[in-house]
Amino acid sequence: MSALASSSSDLQKARFEHALRLGDDALILAQRLGETCGHAPTLELDLSFANVGLDLLGQATLLLGVAGEIEGQGRDADALAYQRDVLAFRNCVLVEQPNGDFARLIARQFLFSSWQLALFQKMEALPDERLSAIAAKAVKEVTYHERLAASWMARLGDGTEESHKRLVDGLAWSFRFVEELFEVDATIAPLVAAGEAVDVSKLRPEWDARVAQVFAEAKVARPKPMRVVMHGRTGRHGEHLGHILSELQFLQRAYPGATW
C-alpha cells in the first residue's frame, strides 16, 4: 500500500517537473529574445525575434499554468514565473546563454527550435489533453521558428568569410549544451515509462539528420560534443540565469502583486 502511494506521489512530482521543464525552456528563451528588441540588425529581424519571443512566452504561460494545476498548491503561471528563485528553475542551460552576436543567437535558436519541433510533434500524442493541445498549437509556431533559424544558418554559413566565422563560433558556444536536451534522468524516467512524457532520447536520430542537413547547407562542421558540469533540469544553472531573473522578476519583487 505504502509503496503504491509513494510511487503515485513520485509520478505526480514527475508530472510537475515535466511541465516546469517545458515551460521554463520557453519562458527563459522568450526573455532572451525580448532582450534583442530594438537591438536586432534590421527592423525586419527586430520584429522577427520579438514575434518568436512572444510565441514562446505564450507557450510558457500555458505550460506553467498546467504545472501549477498539477502541483495543486495554488500557484499559477505568474507565480511560477515571478516567484521562484534560480535553483528552482528547470530550463535547459542552452536557452539561458547570452545572445552574443547575431550568429550565436541564430545558432542557439536553430539548435533549440529543431529540438522543440521534434518534441512537440511527439507530444501531440500524450494522454494529458492539456499538454497535447498546447503542443498541437505550438507546433505551427515552432515550425516557423525552426525554418527562420535554418534559413539564417545557411545565409550566414554560406555568406561571407566573416559571417561564416561568426556562425562557427556561435555553434561552438552553443553546441556544448545540447546533450541535456536528449537526456531522460531519474526524475522523468517513470513518466516516460508510463507513457506520459516523450522519450527525448529517441528524438536524437531525427534531430541529428536535420542538423546534418542544415549544417551541410550552411557549410559548417558539427562541433565535437563536450561535457559540461551545468545541468539546468536539476537546477544547476550557469551564472547567467540569475541575471535574467533579476530583470524578469524585478517588478513583482519590488511591487509584489502589482497588476496593470
CA distances from residue 224 to 106, 119, 141, 172 in whole angstroms, order as listed: 19, 23, 30, 8
- Decide: is 258 part of the binding site for another protein (CB under 8 A): no
Binding another protein by CB under 8 A: which of 155, 204, 219, 240?
A: 155
- Decide: is 51 part of the binding site for another protein (CB under 8 A): yes
* Minimum distance, C-beta of residue 49 to another protein, in the bound complex (Å): 9
* Minimum distance, C-beta of residue 48 to another protein, in the bound complex (Å): 4
Binding another protein by CB under 8 A: which of 3, 4, 44, 161?
A: 44
Q: Give 151 or 249: the residue with its C-beta nearer to another protein.
A: 151
Binding another protein by CB under 8 A: which of 151, 187, 234, 249?
A: 151
- Decide: is 42 part of the binding site for another protein (CB under 8 A): yes
Q: Give 29 or 40: the residue with its C-beta nearer to another protein.
A: 40
CB 53: neighbour CB atoms within 10 A? 21
Binders in 117-146 for another protein, by CB under 8 A: 144
Residues that bind another protein (CB under 8 A): 41-45, 47-48, 51, 144, 147-148, 151, 155
